[in-house]
Amino acid sequence: MAGESLARRYAQAAFELALEVGEDPSEWVRDLRTLARETEEPALATILQSPRIPFSRKREIIGPAIEGLPRLRQNLILAMVENGRTASISRVAQELQRRVNDLQGVVDAEVTTAIAIDEGTAEQIGQLLGKITGKRVTMQRRVDPSILGGLIARVEDSLINASVAGRLNALRDQLT
């Protein structure tokens, strides 16, 4: 929980700073995701997280990865390196993406179906979820045969279980 709180604070600061200087926060998200992939490499992660390695050395090591970034993004990354927070970079990127989505009226949804669905069906589901949420929906699709049929949609903090397995479980609960 503390890591999530920390990620929210870094993301909020980055979001406000990006808007203040007229930059697109989506670019910050892209750069943070790229850097997260690099810093999650085990050898580099060990070095960056080690309290025994001085910040000056960590700065030299991370330098080439952030060299082409605008100064404010470099400063954010260096602050996270100095404070031993590189393991949180991907969470910061996720939190920042959530703020960008809020700004743009977009919501992420994860839709699970028993079988793979075609693009037309996915579009219909996205439109239905958009009507429910009042936002434009970006959807990640998963397949889980154990739900038997129907779908399960996770949108923000909401769960819509319209699966056959969910209905059977509800019926079982009613009968017992």
Domain locations in the chain?
2-101, 105-175
Neighbours of 8 (CB within 10 A): 17
pLDDT of residue 1: 47
pLDDT, one tens digit per residue, over 60-81 is 999 999 999 999 999 999 999 9
Cα 151 to the chain's mean position, in Å?
A: 22
3 has pLDDT over 80 = no
The runs of H, that is alpha helices, within 83-163 are 89-104, 119-133
170 has pLDDT over 90 = no
For range 120-145, the mean pLDDT = 95
pLDDT of residue 147: 94
For range 29-52, the mean pLDDT = 93
Name the helix (H) or strand (E) containing 20: helix 2-20
Alpha-carbon distance 122 to 134, whole Å? 17
Alpha-carbon distance 86 to 42, whole Å? 12
28 has pLDDT over 90 = yes
97 has pLDDT over 70 = yes
pLDDT of residue 2: 61
94 has pLDDT over 70 = yes
pLDDT of residue 100: 95
For range 88-94, the mean pLDDT = 94
Q: Please, what is the average pLDDT of the chain?
A: 93
From 3.40.50.620, 3.40.190.10, 1.10.1380.10, 1.10.520.20, which CATH number describes the 2-101 domain?
1.10.520.20
pLDDT of residue 106: 95
